[in-house]
Amino acid sequence: MLEHGGRLRAAAAHYDIPLADWLDLSTGINPHPWPVPPLPVEVWQRLPEPDDGLEAAAAAYYGNANLLPVAGSQAAIQWLPALLPRAAVACIAPLYAEHPQAWQHAGHKVRFLQNATLPRALAVATPYVLFCNPNNPTADHHPRQIILEAAQTLHKRGGTLIVDEAFIDPTPEESVTALAGTADAPNLIVLRSLGKFFGLGGARVGFIFGKPELLQRMAEAMGPWAVSGPARAVARMALADRDWQAATRSELLATGARLGELLAAYGEVKQTPLFATINSSEAEVLHEHLAHRGILTRRFEQQPLLRFGMPTGESDWQRLADALGDWSKT
């Protein structure tokens, strides 16, 4: 299995620092999650039901009813390649590593296009083009209009465009989710997650958007009750909470800019409202420097990248600034 951020217990054991003493910046999960209220006992007792309002809440939030709830977007990542005819897929890399692994396991040929633009990916002429927007881990963005033009170009030659928008909720104006599987973009497939912006990674709730026939095949492949009743209840309420969403977007835009400014002296920085990534030849050494001070970041072994999630409060911001200051002195 691939390694991901958030492996705090492993870090505590490796560096011999108590679990409670760590500042975990290794994920891009919002450190101020949607406040989950007490749940009715019925959602724990009864089997999940598809008419509980989740699909309607998701259609209203995302602007598209062509959706299927899944156990986190990871479930869609794993199932999707197996439901599509085997062919070549162009992946704009580096990207979330679960994507190419799932396509390879399903028998597709994966072509990695390092730091490519969408026009460059289209020029490879593969039936499938896949990328993350914003990209994880580089924080690169592809403009919405360019994405829609790419979907149209692929549609003309019978291809499919797959976009992972797990980190796009703070900037919904950049999303193409509303068009996935519609008459305007029938070959567009979009993945969304409640784990990042809503901070509900443990709930394991996500959505795939695309043509109804594809969604039906995936639903049949996954079987009944793919998302638990409590997770469905929490997701439905979170998706309907417009006041929290608006306030959180404003806060994350500000903190994202703050993190980018803090890291600017330590390498080439690119950022989203949920994480910032340094590109530096000293990424590994900086990762170790911070880890020995109980600050966990996400290092990527194949590239000189170091990703930082958002600190939770002012004491955490100061702790990170102090540790970076110590690094500067050395």
Token digits for 192?
């969304």
Q: Which residues is 70 bridged to in the sheet? A: 206
Q: Are residues 194 and 214 in the same domain?
A: yes
Domains: count for the chain: 2
Q: What does the pLDDT read at residue 303?
A: 87
**C-alpha angle with apex 147: 253 to 155, nearest 5 degrees?**
155
Token digits for 60?
């209203």
Q: What does the pLDDT read at residue 302?
A: 78
Phi-psi domain of 206 (left: phi exceeds 0; alpha: psi -120 through 50; beta: other): beta
Q: Are residues 88 and 228 in the same domain?
A: yes
Task: Name residues whose C-beta falls within 8 Å of residue 321's C-beta, 6 or more positions apart in sequence.
Answer: 262
Residue 184 DSSP symbol: T
Residue 17 DSSP symbol: -
The answer to whether 79 and 210 are in contact (CB under 8 A) is no
How many Å apart are CA 100 and CA 93, to the nearest integer?
10
Q: Are residues 46 and 172 in the same domain?
A: yes
**C-alpha angle with apex 165: 70 to 168, nearest 5 degrees?**
120
Q: What is the CATH number of the domain that holds 80?
A: 3.40.640.10
Q: Are residues 143 and 126 in the same domain?
A: yes
Residue with tokens 């500067």: 328
Q: What does the pLDDT read at residue 1?
A: 62
Q: Which helix (H) or strand (E) holds 249?
A: helix 242-263
Residue 328: burial class (beta carbons within 10 Å; 0-12, 13-18, 19+): exposed
Residue 179 DSSP symbol: G
Q: Are residues 227 and 96 in the same domain?
A: yes
Q: What does the pLDDT read at residue 6?
A: 65
Per-residue pLDDT in tens (0 to 9) along the chain, 330 residues: 656 666 889 999 999 999 999 999 999 999 999 999 999 999 999 999 989 999 999 999 999 999 999 999 999 999 999 999 999 999 999 999 999 999 999 999 999 999 999 999 999 999 999 999 999 999 999 999 999 999 999 999 999 999 999 999 999 999 999 999 999 999 999 999 999 999 999 999 999 999 999 999 999 999 999 999 999 999 999 999 999 999 999 999 999 999 999 999 999 999 999 999 999 999 999 999 999 999 999 998 778 999 999 999 999 999 999 999 998 877
Q: Are residues 163 and 112 in the same domain?
A: yes
What does residue 93 show for φ and ψ, rounded to 5 degrees?
-115, 160
Domain end call among 174, 205, 240: 240
* CB-based contacts of 33-38 (< 8 A; 24+ apart in sequence): 33/198, 33/199, 33/200, 34/198, 34/199, 34/200, 34/234, 34/238, 34/241, 34/244, 34/248, 35/244, 36/200, 36/234, 37/237
Phi-psi domain of 190 (left: phi exceeds 0; alpha: psi -120 through 50; beta: other): beta
Q: Is residue 160 part of a domain?
A: yes
Q: What does the pLDDT read at residue 301?
A: 79
DSSP assignments along 299-321, one per residue: EETTTTEEEEE--SSHHHHHHHH
Instruction: Using alpha carbons, select from 230, 223, 228, 193 the residue that is nearest to residue 208.
Output: 193
Question: Cβ of 54: how many Cβ atoms within 10 Å?
Answer: 25
How many Å apart are CA 255 and CA 272, to the nearest integer?
10
**C-alpha angle with apex 96: 95 to 102, nearest 5 degrees?**
110
Q: What does the pLDDT read at residue 3?
A: 63
Report the predicted TM-score, pTM, of the whole model to 2 decimal places. 0.95
Instruction: Please give the residue range of the domain that contains residue 117.
Output: 42-240
The answer to whether 163 and 133 are in contact (CB under 8 A) is yes
Q: Are residues 65 and 140 in the same domain?
A: yes
What does residue 3 show for φ and ψ, rounded to 5 degrees?
-90, 140
